[in-house]
Amino acid sequence: MTVEPAPTPAGSTTRLGAPPGPASAKPAADSDDEARARRTAQEQWVRLRHLERQLHDGAALRISALALRLGMLRHRMPSDEQQFQAAVEAIQDELHLVLQELRDVAGMLYPPLLDEAGLGPALREAAARCSRSVRIDAGTERFGPAAEGAAYFAVLGCLAAEPREGRDDPVEVVVRGESGDNGDGRTLVLLVFGVDPCHASTVHDGVRLLGGTAVTGETGLITVRIPCE
């Protein structure tokens, strides 16, 4: 785990929607930050435990069962050719399911398409699996594995939640690169429109350790900025 960076400037917390307070608000903001950092850390461990369970209850269990089925086949080899073919086919089908489950878990760790093709293709694939209507506007620019991973899972987090009651607005996601003023340091800028603005604080926690921020605008637009390589 990386070392916690310098405390977030008070300004960035006020941008999250809390009204900018007088000098006395600063300690409160710090404790808010601490509470959120703790919650983020806890969620990370819950996520890891969930992934381990998914491996255990899914792929591992299927493979164990396959070992038994192969043992049965060895013990009682079907005399009938058709039965034998059916038994082998069933085992191959089961292996396909094992691989599908491993692909699911791999996708939750770090989607292979994100690594190979970048945010645009990876987000489009994710959008296509989503029941809501999602529009992705992203070029081919690359931002490095950390910023891309954080941005990808930020969008996924926003899409996972149910839309607000009675609303099924189309979601729009824009990905842009931004160069620093004096040419040094690039920033990945992510705009998410059409999701509940309350996601901004979760997204902020997810990108904070990378020096990133997430803020909500008046129109409910979430703007995420992540410094990148």
CB closer to another protein, 44 vs 133: 133
| Distance, CA of 157 to CA of 145 (rounded, Å) | 18
Q: Which stretch binds another protein (CB under 8 A): 14-22, 34-42, 134-142, 213-221?
A: 134-142
Task: Give the three-class secondary structure for 28.
Answer: helix
| 8 A C-beta contact, residue 222 and residue 214 | yes
Under the binding rule (CB under 8 A), the answer on residue 174 touching another protein is yes
> Minimum distance from CB of 118 to another protein (Å)?
10
Closest CA to 129 of 113, 148, 118, 146: 113
Q: Which of 74, 76, 96, 167 lies at the binding interface for another protein (CB under 8 A)?
A: 96
Closest CA to 203 of 171, 164, 146, 158: 158
CB closer to another protein, 96 vs 167: 96
Q: Supply the angle between the helices 119-129 and 145-160 in degrees, to the nearest 10.
A: 20
| Distance, CA of 59 to CA of 74 (rounded, Å) | 23
Q: Supply the angle between the helices 145-160 and 199-208 in degrees, to the nearest 10.
A: 160
CB closer to another protein, 142 vs 225: 142
CB closer to another protein, 49 vs 103: 103
Q: Which of 9, 78, 170, 180 lies at the binding interface for another protein (CB under 8 A)?
A: 170
Q: Which of 1, 67, 68, 128 lies at the binding interface for another protein (CB under 8 A)?
A: 128
- Which residues are near another protein by CB under 8 A? 89, 92, 95-96, 99, 103, 112-113, 115-117, 120-121, 124-125, 127-128, 131, 133, 135-138, 170, 174
